[in-house]
Amino acid sequence: MTAAPRREDAAAPRVHPGTVQAASSLLAALAAPMRLSIVASLLQHETRCVHQLVDELGAAQPLVSQHLRVLREAGLVVGERRHREVHYALVDQHVGHIVRDALDHVSHSAEGAGPASVEEVDAGCRVDEGTR
């Protein structure tokens, strides 16, 4: 197999290795159906507390908390304490765009299907007992 000829005017700019590593870490933090579901929920609702995510996603509280911790440690979500609850939100809309674009890409690839709505993502990303 031969490589496609490279067009000089379309040459990609050189990306710093540190930037590539940071992007890889970001994508790794999103690389779980539950975390994609959490981000999709935060896209739709802006903020959610753990019990709302548990109810919405049909997952156990420790599992949701564990995935929120991964997202928080990756700098993708922030938590704000309000009385006895912590409300989570996306740090910025870039993460939401990445998730929405990935889901749209997958839905477009599936035999001409249209882009997925956030509601379809929420329904499609519910975690079965066997995948927890």
Question: Domain extents for the chain?
Answer: 21-126
Burial class (CB in 10 A: 0-12, 13-18, 19+), 38: buried
Distance CA 77, CA 10 (A): 35
**Which helix (H) or strand (E) element contains residue 128?**
none
pLDDT > 70? residue 131: no
User: Model confidence at 129, in pLDDT bands (50, 70, 90)?
Assistant: very low
More confident residue, 9 or 85: 85
pLDDT (tens digit, 9 = 90+) per residue, 19-60? 999 999 999 999 999 999 999 999 999 899 999 999 999 999
What CATH architecture does domain 21-126 belong to? Orthogonal Bundle (1.10)
Q: How many CB atoms are located within 10 Å of the residue 78 CB?
A: 15
- Stated as kind and residue range, the H or E segment containing 103 is helix 93-109
Average pLDDT over residues 69-94: 95
